[in-house]
Amino acid sequence: MDGFLQRLSNPAIAIPLVLFVIFSIYNRLTNVSNIPGGVPWVGKDTSKMLAGTRASIAGFNDFRKWLEDAYDKYGKKNISYILPDSFAEPKVILPRSQLAWLVDQPDDILSASAFHHDSLEGDYAFTSPVITKAPYHEHVIHKYLPRRVASLVPEMWEEVQAAIDQTWGTNTREWRDIGIWQNMMRVIPSVTNRMMVGPQVCRNEDFLENMGKFAMDVITCSTVYLRFTPRFLKPLVGPLVSIPNTRHWRNTTKYTLPIIKERLANFKRKQEDPSFHWDEPNDYISWHINLAMAEGRHDELTPDMISRRLMPINFAAIHTTALTITSAIFDLFSSPHSLEWLRGIREEAERAFAEEGGQWTKNSLARCHRADSAIRESMRLSNFMALNVVRKVIPAEGIENKVGGWRAPQGALLGIDMHSVQHDPEIYPDPNTYDPFRFSRVRETSDTLNVHRKVNGTGTGTTGLITTSDIFLPFSHGRHACPGRFFVACEMKLILAYIAMNYEIEPLDSRPPNTWFGQNVIPPMKATIRVRRREDMTGQ
């Protein structure tokens, strides 16, 4: 409690907190409740006035404890409960046993996109409300990216080499301090945009800076400004606080619009003239144009709209991937046996690299079980979200949960406590310890099925990074599982492989702590590691 009071003395925390209290009280007094009756609450004393507001405020400090207590009291007993949220509406948390029911509901009953639109303030934060209300870019990614990842791996490798060499340096004698979060916010945009817009601009510093700033400003706009704004004021406040977002988008169009216009002209010419020889680039812009043409979506074939569609993909790919790889690096290099584990990752990466003649392919990356496991284990232990698979109830009559005996009204939010599931000792032995090869041991043994049952309590599925299940949910689950995870998994494994093959890392004495802020878990943004280029590197 003393730590919480000390934080309140900081105006940067105190002022938003005061605004939050005012906003929360206003909403409690004016909003129609979208919470189902008969479902137990966590952290709320219903005998007190404004109990929901009190619980939401307490959530700044108590959220993690609430998760632990509620999981033991309700989640493990297959009972749903209501969890207050310091920054949004309370959510109905379903037990893991009801995950299949949750993800099997059609989109017009329980909607993932409606939740994302609301939580990210999509009416304002993404330059146009249509971007998240009708996420055509997700349709394109679902259709093309999983099938095109293999052909993208060599290009991703080029960008990883260039970005890390430039920012980590090539000096083999002197150690260098690297701020991992800031560094990954430079590396990830470059690799991502090689897939998005091709090699012409993916290393342009001005373009990358604006994409990175856009990703951060979406968070600022949606979680700092508009989350504290009463609904009736949002049409006035929203356009103002999202001005930086729009400015960053316009700055990127200096580079993207010429490419998009040229691409559209070449597609048109190819349609009209079969003799026109043109090698179609393998990137998001081409995928988008191909699909929109095939589906007759003329509204999605304007240069302006295509340039806008690049922004939410960059936001998702940059922000979440940078958070994930930052945590993975700190988890790995603060562990007691980090040098031994690094050697294990290096040996496997060098072997897979050599087996493909000194190049990376999708198949060689698939054989890097240790790098895959080290990242998956960090996503299990140190994920930046506590809750996931959240859906919004759409029908006016709500939705009935027959197992729980309750009905959630329209607008209610339903989700899963991912953090507690992934820290359950009955599922993952010694769950609070980072064990980078927890999953690769399973894949490197001959008796995979038996060991898998022993490790995580189930005999189905696999332990690969991209595999979602009821006990591994960072990429969500079901048909709305992250479509970009195939790309992101390759991207992060390439980064970790390149680091292991080409750099010495000085182990950390202890893990720089994450910061819990409501349901969000923020990795150490300013912590650094010391690195030096290896003299006998093999990853060139």
Instruction: Name residues whose C-beta falls within 8 Å of residue 528's C-beta, 6 or more positions apart in sequence.
Output: 177, 178, 179, 180
* Helical packing angle, 338-355 and 485-502, nearest 10°: 110
- What span, in angstroms and rounded, lies between the C-alpha atoms of 91 and 223? 17
Instruction: Name residues whose C-beta falls within 8 Å of residue 534's C-beta, 6 or more positions apart in sequence.
Output: 172, 501, 502, 503, 504
From residue 347, give the alpha-carbon distance in Å to each of 119, 138, 325, 370, 453: 43, 37, 20, 10, 28
Question: In what order do the strands lie in the sheet containing 503-505?
Answer: 176-179, 528-533, 503-505
- What span, in angstroms and rounded, lies between the C-alpha atoms of 132 and 26? 27
From residue 29, give the alpha-carbon distance in Å to each of 21, 90, 293, 360, 491: 12, 15, 49, 58, 47
From residue 90, give the alpha-carbon distance in Å to each of 48, 55, 275, 390: 17, 10, 60, 12
Cβ neighbour number for residue 88 with a 10 Å cutoff: 17
Residue 279, sorted as left (phi over 0), alpha (psi -120 to 50) or beta, turns out to be: beta
- What span, in angstroms and rounded, lies between the C-alpha atoms of 197 and 162? 17
- Does the annotation list 490 as a binding residue? no
- What span, in angstroms and rounded, lies between the C-alpha atoms of 342 and 348? 10
Helix (H), strand (E), coil (C) string for 69-117:
HHHHHCHHHCCCEEEEECCEEEEEEECHHHHHHHHHCCCCCEEHHHHHH
Instruction: Name residues whose C-beta falls within 8 Å of residue 131's C-beta, 6 or more positions apart in sequence.
Output: 122, 137, 308, 309, 311, 312
Q: Name the CA dihedral angle for 399, 400, 405, 408, rounded to a multiple of 10 degrees.
A: 10
Q: Is the dihedral of CA 118, 119, 125, 128 positive or negative?
A: negative
Helix (H, G, I), strand (E, B) or coil at 535: coil
Q: Which residues of 150-180 are buried (b: 16+ CB within 10 A; e: fewer)?
A: eebbebbbbbbebbbeebbeeeeeeeeebbb
For tokens 């330059």, the residue is: 127
Residues comprising the binding site? 482
Residues comprising the binding site for heme? 482
